[in-house]
Amino acid sequence: MSTPIRLGTRRSALAQAQSGHVAAALEKVTGRAVELVPITSEGDTNRASLSEIGGLGVFATRLREALLAGRCDFLVHSLKDLPTAVPEGLVIAATPRREDARDVVLTRHGAPLHELGSGSTVGTGSPRRIAQVRRRAPQAEVVDIRGNVDSRLARVASGELDAVILAAAGLSRLGTDSPLKREELGLAEWPTAPGQGSLAVETRADAPEELREALSALDDHDTRLAVTVERAILEGLDAGCQAPMAAHARVEGAEIRIRTVVYAPDGGRRIGLDVTEALNGEYIHRNGSGNGADAADGAGPMHAARELGLAVARRLLDQGAADLVPREHPDFS
């Protein structure tokens, strides 16, 4: 009997659920068992605000250390929590098909977010969502919260909060069935974090070829194209994954459409771009399939997608985005 493939995962219910989906898919591909290896990340033990912790991989660093140390064979991350720089010795082997990338507002009585008035409380720990709430519901009070999905929903159900904002994909993966009322926020007016709704399957660069080939079978090409563009925008802005910015790209037929916005932390100002690029144009689909390819390979469609994202970031910076987002690598000179 073959040895199980070891999947490193955070201990949270959501992480275990999304890792379980990937494990089941890999078992179908390989015919081998996949066992979950729970790992505690800094983000699971540090209860400080996400805006205070920063975006330097608080949910990924411990997992990556375990992978490099040989304690597991591959990892599954929420892509929106993953820093844009991939450590030496590791590769993103697959990005499975993206689920719903939207945010969802959950309330007791179904009042839409924009109707929440003075005295209303909206819970979220994301600087991007905080800025968006301050634009959509300027009279409401934003409460900086942490905790798992169930604890956040409970704070609304109990009346402690009037609303919370969560990722639609997380609710779907958990199979959450809540009596709270849902308001899905459209991506045109409420774009979400780079990579939201997507998973990243990561392994060592020197992993057995058999494993890397099996993992690449889980890759969805259109998802990888889109998230490569989104994350390159974040990279080009030199901002962390908790920056008050949004980027969403989607493949539509022969085009890729990009919506990106950078917000002032107080929501008072924003800089946005809408870009459409032909997939058979200069940037995308020049060479190769891109299946399982690293976005930094230097050739092929994923390299081209990254270049497109960096070009969009430069346009944002030219319009003043650097004045709105905290830099991941501040200049101390």
Helical packing angle, 209-216 and 13-30, nearest 10°: 110
Give the three-state DSSP class for 73: coil
- The helix (run of H) or strand (run of E) holding residue 262 is strand 255-263
Give the separation between CA 303 and CA 35, rounded to whole angstroms: 33
Which residues does 147 contact at the CB level (< 8 Å), separation at least 6? none
> What are 174's strand-pairing partners?
none
Catalytic residue among 44, 73, 81, 318: 81
Look up 81 and say whether it is catalytic: yes
Return the half-sphere exposure (C-beta side, CA atoms, 13 A cut-off) of residue 168.
18
DSSP-derived secondary structure for 99-132: ----EEEEESS---GGG--TT-EEE---HHHHHH
Q: How far is CA 260 from CA 8, 43, 71, 194, in A?
A: 32, 26, 38, 9
In terms of Cα–Cα distance, which of 73, 140, 95 is closest to 113?
A: 140
Q: Contact at 8 Å (CB) between 178 and 106?
A: yes
Indicate which residues carry an active-site annotation: 81
